[in-house]
Amino acid sequence: MKKEKSKREGPAEAQVPLNKKIQREIIGWMWVILAFLFIHGTLLQARVIPSESMVGTLLVGDHLLVSRFGWSAGVPFTGMQWAMWRTPQRQQMVVFRSQQPGSPDLVKRIIGVPGDTVEIRQHAVWVNRKPLLEPYLNTTNGGMDDFGPVTVPPGDYFVMGDNRGNSYDSRYWGFVPRNAIVGSPVIIYMSVDADRAAWEPGHLGDRFYAYVNAILRPSHIRWKRLFVTF
DSSP state of 41: I
DSSP state of 132: P
Q: CB–CB of 163/137 below 8 Å? A: no
* CA-closest candidate to residue 62, choices 192, 182, 186, 184: 192
Q: Looking at 53, 72, 170, 191, which residue is catalytic?
A: 53
Output the DSSP codes for 64-94.
EEEE-TTTEEEETTTTEEEE-S----TT-EE
- The amino acid that residue 125 corresponds to is V
- Is residue 5 part of the annotated active site? The answer reads no
Q: Looking at 72, 108, 167, 191, which residue is catalytic?
A: 108
In SS3 terms, 140-204 reads as CCCCCCCEEEEECCCCEEEEECCCHHHCCCHHHHCCEEHHHEEEEEEEEEEEECCCHHHHCCCCH
- Is residue 53 part of the annotated active site? The answer reads yes
Q: Please list the active-site residues.
A: 53, 108
